[in-house]
Structure 1
Amino acid sequence: MRGELGEDVYASWFRGVEIEEVDGGIVHLSVATRFLRNWLKTHYYDSVLKQAQGEWPSAERVEFTVRQPHFTIEPPKETPCARQTPSPAATDRAQLPMPLRTGYEGFEGSPLDPRLSFASFVVGNSNKLAHAAAKQVAHASSSPQSPFNPLFLHGNVGLGKTHLLHAIAWEVKQQNPEAEVLYLTAERFMSGFVQALRARDALAFKEKLRNIDILLIDDMEFLQGPTIQQEFCHTLNSLIDGGRQVVVAADRAPTHLDKLDMRMRSRLGGGLVAEMKTMDYELRHKILEKRAQEACAETAGLEVSDTVLAFLAERLTESGRELEARCIVCGRATSSPTSPVTIAGAEQIVRDLMRGTEPRRVRIDDILRTVSKHYGVNRGDLLSGRRNRSIVRPRQIGMYLAKLLTSRSLPEIGRRFGNRDHTTVLHAIRKIEQLMTDDNQLREEIELLKRLLRD
């Protein structure tokens, strides 16, 4: 589906789709919301069925269902570092409390994961500013004036933005159980607003949002549509002007959210903007060490040596989710619970994610983001028909890098650069190649961009 529809469409609509089972010619897929279920059935049913039949020839139809949350009302205590057998109380899942969602006066928010608390968050140089700001916002939620409002967290996938949003929500509810906390993804906000419009209840929808104590919005980059953006901007202004806290997370800074209008970008950047950078080796090692201690505490006799942790920290460099997932797999895939995890065993398990033999896969979206940031031009200008020299040259460099670093065809590159003809792409590539033969500065700039994209 990613290859057929492109990265942007895939990330917007298919990122959270999960395969539940294939039974009797029916492929059962689950999604997070009713809005997403209806949208996929209406717009992408035939495409999904086609792909499913390529995987399971006996598939006759596809069924979309809405997943039910399975989270608990209390966040867990910090797992002790000592390796010990868990107590019966810790393993008795039947005694877990009822599930909890954030919400306000009938408006249902997204579920909170009890594992994502400040206690379980590992702090390093790349995220200490975001962590400190999040804790200060959570502790100051009951004060009349918040130190950072709004708080905007941004960074690539898997670096802990969602973790901090959940942690803020848990901390606020622990300090003040009566506080009205609402945690939403941008997709759920859009879903709720569309449903309110259909029910002719948009005014009540907006009034509910404007009366909560703290609003947390995740995946802000997916907020689309001028009407929805306008209403969200009104809600944002109302909350902040009323002294209510707003925390937003996205994959890039407010100034680079090209799908949002300038007024909203300015408002989102009016508080504290904290970047969560790529994890360095030290932080990756600390995360693996903490997760390994938790795994060893849950599995009697399991041992993970520091040598294995160092190996994993060196090889796994993408995100915290990758680190945690592979650490869990290493513990579960050990041939015997009493035998230690070896480097050979760890290498076998993480081979699909090791980057020692293959370069990082570069996407056209990465190229657009890197080029626009390096040359100080708006991404929208790169995709537009503007012919200013300050825009044409970066656009040509982007096309050259797309041909050099990706497997996309010339027509596909042209489509991703503002629906341009493949001959335009070919001209851009030849132009840059010609200029590089005589311009040392241009060669150095392109080498720098290549390193930035591959690192």
Structure 2
Amino acid sequence: MGKDDRDASELFARIRARLKAAVGEDVYNSWFARLELEELVDDLAHLSVPTRFLCSWIQSNYAEKILDAFKAEASGIARLHFTVRVNGQARPRLAPPAEASAEPGVEAVPAAARPARETPAPAAARGDALSGSALDPKMTFDSFVAGAPNEIALGVAKQVAHAALNNTVSFNPVYIHSTVGLGKSHLLNAIAWAAGAGDPARNIVYLTADHFMYHFITAVQRQSAIAFKEWLRRVDLLLIDDMQFLQGKSATEFGHTLGTLLTGAKQVVVAGDAPPRDLDMLDERVRSRLSGGLVVPINGFDLELRRAIVTRRAEQASARFAGVHFPPAVIDYIARVVVSHGRDLDGSVNRLVAANQLTQEPITVTLAERTLADLVRSREAKRVRIEDILRIVSRHYKVPRNDLLSSRRSRDVVRPRQIAMYLAKSLTARSLPEIGRRFGGRDHTTVLHSVRKVEQLMKDDGDLAQEIELLKRMLEE
């Protein structure tokens, strides 16, 4: 460890002590224990945390307190930047290692992150001032479990990767959307791995939205925005994940980059949690460009796909751990009761493997019921109120709450009102007459008509079904 590293470590230890004294040990352990100082560059402190939720919470609630602690110990620090650690590493970093520096006074713009067949080379190890986000070597087409809800998205992703291997462009841009945990990131990683397999010189960049913003903000701060733009415009395949988190000038810059890449026939693949039309942080032209490409939804997993995912994960666990065996009844139980998303299915298998390895207890339905109780209970314990539904629907569709309860019959009010009634019937224990009374004194037959209407529309319109699934998730979280 060099002197600068020791000085930074000692500085951050003093800052941690100040934070603990300011907020108390319980709050500190809850929110700051996993906060790490990555680097100090000029007047900027780069901090990292392991999850996006933690990053958002600290930025929203404690950024000013952290900055005050820095100023008290190092008066030269005037700004903070937070990033999420990927595979244990905060990437990208502001300052490349000194041994990889370019000529004095020259801003180096390295090649894009190129997937290798084994594990991705760390950007910092290459001295990259700019690089793609870390790719997960486990997220390949071979490890992706296909089923009816995601088979179209998988087919499109494979076609994009095949076209990139042959230096051609298929659908452009491609926009994949779904709620959390249904495989968007997996498909983007798989495209990058597959497209980079044949030619390591091909410029393939996978970026999460927060890393895109980080690159752009850093480039502006370091007066290298032109170099950043040129770096992006030289890529052959650009993959942007978590589009919904793109904000401010970074969203504008993405729009310019998208237009340039499409004009140059470069392949762009984007993933987000809502259809392009609902990405309010993008201007209308960018939303139109995304909508004009191929928009592919991934629907909520059905029982068959959940069972297939659990079966695959169970087989992988059995191959890795001696004595691990998942009876069919346990696989069926997990697929039936863990209905949130794919990550919870993976986590359920991991929990049971851990329980088996630690206690030597066979994997049975009884063990599963005990080990996974919180995943099941968390869904049952959440009590959705009609007031919550009115608030979420009003905000999502930008319709005043009073209009939802009024007698207005314009289409922009009727459809959200019908969806709100459908959600009330689906997510609450209220009877049809009770729901009707809460929606402006309507008759129960009106509520029933709305419920049936929305059910039919969901069958006919995959985008609407996905949109309503998103609303359900928002209400249940």
Given the two structures, how large is their TM-score scaled by the length of structure 1? 0.69
Aligned runs of 1:358-377 on 2, under 5 Å? Answer: 358=380, 367=389
CA displacement 1:186-231 (0-9 Å, x = unmatched): 1111122122222222222111111111111011111122x33222
* Mapped contact 2:36–2:48 kept (Cα < 8 A): no
Aligned runs of 1:141-156 on 2, under 5 Å? Answer: 141-156=164-179
CA displacement 1:148-196 (0-9 Å, x = unmatched): 1111111111000000001111112212111111111111111221222
CA 46–174 in structure 1, closer or farther in 2 if over 3 Å, else same: closer
- Corresponding residue for residue 435 of structure 1: 442
CA displacement 1:391-448 (0-9 Å, x = unmatched): 45566678889999999xxxxxxxxxxxxxxxxxxxx9967241236xx234431577
3-state SS, counterpart of residue 124 of structure 1:
coil
- Corresponding residue for residue 29 of structure 1: 35
3-state SS, counterpart of residue 333 of structure 1:
helix
Shift of 1:145: 3.5
* Mapped contact 1:179–1:213 kept (Cα < 8 A): yes
Does structure 1 residue 379 correspond to structure 2 residue 397? yes
Match of 2:343 among 321, 325, 338: 321
3-state SS, counterpart of residue 441 of structure 2:
helix
* Mapped contact 2:205–2:237 kept (Cα < 8 A): yes
Query: 2: distance between equivalents of 1:382 and 1:35?
Result: 40
CA displacement 1:235-279 (0-9 Å, x = unmatched): 001111112110000112112223322211110122211111111
Shift of 1:369: 11
* Mapped contact 2:133–2:207 kept (Cα < 8 A): yes
Aligned runs of 1:199-278 on 2, under 5 Å? Answer: 199-225=222-248, 227-278=249-300
Shift of 1:100: 5.9
- Corresponding residue for residue 121 of structure 1: 144
Query: 2: distance between equivalents of 1:364 and 1:258?
Result: 26
Aligned pairs, number: 375
Shift of 1:379: 2.4
- Corresponding residue for residue 85 of structure 2: 67
* Mapped contact 2:135–2:189 kept (Cα < 8 A): yes
Given the two structures, how large is their TM-score scaled by the length of structure 2? 0.66
Shift of 1:301: 1.3
Shift of 1:370: 8.8
Ranked by relative contact order (alpha carbons within 8 Å, sequence separation 6 or more), the top structure is 1
CA 398–159 in structure 1, closer or farther in 2 if over 3 Å, else same: closer
Shift of 1:356: 10
Aligned runs of 1:77-96 on 2, under 5 Å? Answer: none
Aligned runs of 1:331-370 on 2, under 5 Å? Answer: 331-334=353-356, 339-354=361-376, 358=380, 367=389
CA 135–103 in structure 1, closer or farther in 2 if over 3 Å, else same: farther
CA RMSD of aligned residues (A): 4.5
* Mapped contact 2:123–2:131 kept (Cα < 8 A): no
- Unaligned segments of structure 2, at least 5 residues: 1-26, 40-45, 50-54, 67-80, 90-113, 429-434, 456-467
The percent identity for this pair of structures is 37
Does structure 1 residue 282 correspond to structure 2 residue 310? no
- Corresponding residue for residue 16 of structure 1: none
* Mapped contact 1:155–1:251 kept (Cα < 8 A): yes
* Mapped contact 1:135–1:168 kept (Cα < 8 A): yes
One-letter amino acid matched to 2:62: Y
Query: 1: distance between equivalents of 2:390 and 2:124?
Result: 37
3-state SS, counterpart of residue 270 of structure 2:
strand
Query: 2: distance between equivalents of 1:364 and 1:70?
Result: 41
CA 322–357 in structure 1, closer or farther in 2 if over 3 Å, else same: closer
Query: 2: distance between equivalents of 1:240 and 1:69?
Result: 32
CA 191–126 in structure 1, closer or farther in 2 if over 3 Å, else same: same
